[in-house]
Chains A and B, each alone.
Chain A
Amino acid sequence: MKNGAEYIIEFLEKKGVEVVFGYPGGQILNFYEYLGRSNLKHILVRHEQAAAHAACGYARVTGRPGVCIATSGPGATNLVTGIADAYLDSIPMIAITGQVKLQDIGKDSFQEADITGITTPITKHSYLIQELSQLPGVLDEAWQVATKGRPGPVLIDVPKDLFLEEQDMAAIHSHLITRKVAREDNTEKMMPLIVERLSQAKRPLILAGGGVISAGAWDALAELVQRTGIPVVNTLMGKGAYPENQPLALGMVGMHGLAPANLALSHCDVLLCLGTRFSDRVTGNRRNFLEKACIIHVDTDAAELQKNVITDFPVHRDLNEFFKILLEDPALVKSEANAQWISRIHQWQKKYKQPTEFSGPLLKPQAVIQAVARMADPDSVVVTDVGQHQMFVAQNYPISSRRGFLTSGGLGTMGFGLPAAMGAAFGRPGAEILLFVGDGGFQMTLQELATIREYRLPIKIFIMNNGNLGMIRQWQGLFFEKHYVASDLPAYPDFIKLAGAYDIPAVRINAPAELDEKVKLALETQGPMLIDCQIEANEYVFPMVPPGGKPGDMIGRWQDETHICCISGE
């Protein structure tokens, strides 16, 4: 005989879960009672949103589901942002929430909220346990749902009384998932044509999305590039899918993609899209996205095919299976025109270089990021929050390690960075965690400094402090005639003092001259450290494809530092 709480804990342990992130409350106290007696390590965060983001950070670095726990009502609703974040970035996550007693459900009881209903559109599935005998089946199924196919979050809501109810649960099995009727697909028929297109293309290109990383298909992608010589661009979520220190890695495409990458995208004649969903941040105007190119789209989620962009070859396959068929085909070869295409890309790379040398008395965000990238261990995990600094990191910090880059891509959640970095620190013990965060986003979840201090997590918090909501200011500067509304952040708090209050060491970098020395100091410091980088307030992220534009049509500064010019992809 086992009670509900014991059963859940035993299940998580059997699945190899070591760490869970959570916050207690009345309806889940019974569960905590047993959690406290188990071998599972529970990390008490300081706000449930952070539990969800931390679980997400943990999942992003390990590839295994992160687990977060909250009480009913406000505890559960505080998870919502983190769950939505995991949903849009396809991160496997299990959220367990306490619910009011079975008989109290539907009565507007104290701390009752319909969290399964609230999370229906932002989970792969949400379960309300209505009798204890459902628990084994639901847990099994929830784990499968979170991890299989396209990963994502799952929520399990457990009424308080079921944690203590006992039952012999050995004989109960899950039945739901196995009933699903499979759909046919015609991948086999398309494959020879796909191979032919790739091998005969004049200007072939690979677009790697986050799906490559969740499928763990790094080696297969590298082999494909090696064999065909096709250059690779990536989405924000696909950063690190192909090592960025390789010559054929052109970097990120999209709204703030690098110019050569965006130009390659707009000029390619055959585009192989792997595990990506044609977000509007990538395509700009979806209506006429690469009208003339042949697009091959491979995704494990059939619903992504033909959803945002109509493609010539929609392939519904797990990426690993797709690669296996593709790479086994001897007809797949490097196209004859490849060399010419690559040399054209090289010209773009020469012409449209991102700045690497910075003059002037003010500290440039790019300079900070490049300095850290130069000096840090390449196996560090790089985490960002959301805003200008996020794009600067995506452009300026080459990632070559696997699962070494964590960012909130789909939801663009400010406040993601600090707790996600925490989760990453637990998921990858021993690794250095480098967080870049804006002064705005940092203030959304800074309560977690306490958790970070408690466990002395090796997180280096680089606050890219520009005294404003940089990305908002940039849009107001470019599209609202410099009418700056609600985007100033006056210089409070003093982040050095704040770190002091949490007993976390901190330094401030004021000028370019002290950059290297202070970054070095930070990287050599054990445990957490906060680095308040006083960066220039008026820097814009360039290039930029204006919203709704075409991938190749960008504005930016290439000739000199002050002049904004346009390039066209035509």
Chain B
Amino acid sequence: MRHTFAVLVENNPGVLSRVAGLFSRRGFNIESLVVGETEDKTTSRMTIVVEGDERVLEQVSKQLNKQIEVIKVNDITDDESVNRQLALIRVAADQSSRQEILQITEIFRCRIVDIGRKSLIVEATGDEIKIQAIIESLKPFGIQELVRTGKVAMVRGVK
């Protein structure tokens, strides 16, 4: 089972290594981990995607909770939430293929953020399925470089 945890932590140096260390030490599998400051500068939000059975996930959440710098742990897997990843894709593009690539990016509502003589950089955001679909459709043109973030997530609805 794949789960998404939203973890609010103190914005201290070292907190990332503590959390990452916890996962490797206890044998939990991190699929992705994204961390960044929140609206409050003294806290950060980690979005962690973990693979494991129910028992492992319960341990993950409890062990995270035990960390002094962890303020709150939420398993948001089953919540209605907005999930986003970002990908930057450098795709080979010559005169003949440029038009077709532009069409594809339009369909997926991506943006071209850089134009080189022989390539384009496409910026894509979306949930995992969408990012995967974009990558698949750009593949035939030749992907030269690909970077992508892990997932960030936010629960829907009014607080």
A residues in contact (CB < 8 Å) with B: 116-117, 120-121, 124-125, 128, 130, 141, 145, 176-177, 179-181, 183, 301-303, 305-307, 310
Q: Are B68 and A181 in contact (CB under 8 A)?
A: no
Within 8 Å of chain A (Cβ to Cβ): is B71?
A: yes
Contact A116 B59 (CB under 8 A): no
| Residues of B close to A141: CB separation below 8 A | 68
Contact B68 A302 (CB under 8 A): no
Q: What are the residues of chain A within 8 A of B67 when measuring CB–CB? A: 125
Bound-complex Cα distance A111 to B58 (A): 41
Cα–Cα distance between A303 and B62 once the two chains are bound (Å): 5
The answer to whether A302 and B62 touch across the interface, beta carbons within 8 angstroms, is: yes
B72 in contact (CB, < 8 A): yes
When A117-B17, A120-B17, A121-B21 are in contact, do A176 and B65 touch as well, CB less than 8 Å?
no
The contact sample of 8 A-B pairs, CB cut-off 8 A, is A124-B68, A130-B13, A179-B10, A302-B66, A303-B62, A303-B66, A305-B62, A306-B55
B159 to chain A, nearest CB (A): 15
The 9 closest A-B pairs by CB, nearest first: A303-B62, A181-B72, A125-B68, A179-B71, A302-B62, A303-B66, A303-B63, A121-B25, A120-B21
Given contacts A125-B67, A179-B71, A303-B62, 19 further A-B contacts (CB under 8 A): A116-B14, A117-B17, A121-B25, A124-B68, A130-B13, A145-B68, A176-B10, A177-B68, A183-B65, A301-B66, A302-B62, A302-B65, A302-B66, A303-B59, A303-B63, A303-B66, A305-B62, A306-B55, A306-B59
A130 to B14, CA, bound (A): 12
The CA-CA distance from A176 to B10 in the complex, in Å, is 8
Closest partner residue, chain A, to B58 (CB atom): A306
A305 closest partner in B (C-beta): B62
Residues of chain B within 8 A (CB-CB) of A301 are 66
Residue of B nearest to A128 (CB): B14
Set of chain A residues within 8 Å of B14, measured between Cβ atoms: 116, 128
Find out whether the CB atom of A176 lies under 8 angstroms from the CB atom of B68.
Answer: yes
B111: interface (CB < 8 Å): no
Number of interface residues, chain B, beta carbon within 8 A = 21
Chain B residues 1 to 52 lying within 8 A of chain A, measured CB to CB, are 8, 10, 13-14, 17-18, 21, 25
Q: Which residues of A contact B63 (CB under 8 A)?
A: 303
- A52 to B: closest C-beta gap in Å: 21
Report A-chain residues with C-beta under 8 Å of the C-beta of B123.
none
Q: Given A181-B71, A306-B58, A307-B59, are A120 and B18 also a contact pair (CB < 8 Å)?
A: yes
In the complex the two chains form, what is the Cα distance from A141 to B72 in whole Å? 18
Q: Does B127 contact A (CB under 8 A)?
A: no
Which residue from chain A places its CB closest to the CB of B24 in the assembled complex? A121
Cβ–Cβ < 8 Å partners of A310 in chain B: 55
A-B contact count (CB 8 A): 43
Instruction: State how many angstroms separate the Cβ of A58 from the closest Cβ of chain B.
Output: 24
Which residue of the partner chain B has the closest CB to A149? B66
Report the minimal beta-carbon distance from A310 to chain B, rounded to whole angstroms.
7
Determine the distance from Cα of A214 to Cα of B17 in the docked complex, in whole angstroms: 30
Q: How far is the CB of B64 from chain A (nearest CB, A)?
A: 9
Q: How far apart are the CA atoms of A306 and B54 in the complex, in Å?
A: 11
Q: How far is the CB of A395 from chain B (nearest CB, A)?
A: 33
Bound form: Cα–Cα A417–B133 in Å: 63
Distance A559 CA – B68 CA, assembled complex (angstroms): 54
The answer on a CB contact under 8 Å between A303 and B65 is yes
**Closest beta carbon of chain A to B65's beta carbon, Å:** 7
Bound form: Cα–Cα A130–B69 in Å: 16
Give the CA-CA distance A501 to B2 in the complex, in Å. 64
Nearest neighbor of A177 in chain B, beta-carbon distance: B68
- Chain B residues contacting A305 (CB-CB under 8 Å) are 62
* Assembled-state Cα–Cα distance A121/B67 (Å): 11
Bound CA span A472–B64, Å: 37
Q: In the complex, what distance in Å separates the CA atom of A130 from the CA atom of B13?
A: 10
Q: How far is the CA of A310 from the CA of B66 in the complex (A)?
A: 20
Give CA–CA (A117, B68) in the complex, Å. Answer: 15
Please give the distance in Å from B134's CB to the nearest CB on chain A: 38
Q: How far is the CA of A303 from the CA of B17 in the complex (A)?
A: 20
- What residues of B have a CB within 8 angstroms of the CB of A183 in the complex? 65
The smallest beta-carbon distance between A114 and chain B, in angstroms, is: 10
- Alpha-carbon distance between A181 and B73 when the two chains are bound, in angstroms: 9
A181 to B62 CA separation, bound complex (whole angstroms): 13
**CB-defined contacts of A303 to chain B, threshold 8 Å:** 59, 62-63, 65-66
A146 CA to B60 CA in the complex, in Å?
Answer: 22
Contacts of B18 in A (CB 8 A): 120
Min distance, Cβ B2 to any Cβ of chain A, angstroms: 20
Tell whether, in the assembled complex, residue B59 and residue A176 are in contact, meaning their CB atoms are under 8 Å apart.
Answer: no
**Nearest CB in chain A: distance from B45 CB, A:** 14
**Complexed CA–CA distance, A310 and B59 (Å):** 12
Nearest to A181 among chain B residues (CB) is B72
* CB atoms of B55 and A176 under 8 A apart: no
Q: Which of B55, B59, B71 contacts A180 (CB 8 A)?
A: B71
**CB < 8 Å neighbour of B69 from A121, A176, A181, A302:** A176
In the bound complex, how far is the Cα of B72 from the Cα of A121, in angstroms? 20
- Whole-angstrom distance from the CB of B98 to the nearest CB of chain A? 48
In the complex, what distance in Å separates the CA atom of A124 from the CA atom of B22?
12
What A residues does B70 contact at CB under 8 A?
180
* A301 to B13 Cα, complex, angstroms: 26
Residues from chain B with a CB closer than 8 A to the CB of A124 are 68
Chain A nearest CB from B72 CB (Å) reads 4
Residues of A within 8 A of B13 (CB): 130
B17 to chain A, nearest CB (A): 7
In this complex, what residue of A is CB-closest to B55? Answer: A306
How far apart are the CA atoms of A125 and B19 in the complex, in Å?
12
Roughly how many angstroms separate A305 CA and B61 CA in the complex, as a whole number? 12
* Cα A116 to Cα B21 with chains together (Å): 13
| Chain B residue with Cβ nearest A154 | B68
Q: What residues of B have a CB within 8 angstroms of the CB of A176 in the complex?
A: 10, 68-69
Distance to closest chain B CB from A329 (angstroms) = 28
Shortest distance in angstroms between A83's beta carbon and chain B's nearest beta carbon? 16
CB nearest neighbor in A for B8: A181
Minimal beta-carbon separation of B46 from chain A (angstroms): 15
Taking the closest CB of chain A, its distance from the CB of B124, in whole angstroms, is 35
A159 to chain B minimum Cβ distance, whole angstroms, is: 14
Smallest Cβ distance from A424 to chain B, in angstroms?
A: 29
Most buried by B among A121, A141, A145: A121
Residues of B contacting A130 in the complex (Cβ-Cβ under 8 angstroms): 13
* Residues of B close to A145: CB separation below 8 A: 68
- Taking CB atoms and an 8 Å cut-off, the chain B residues in 49-108 that contact chain A are 55, 58-59, 62-63, 65-72
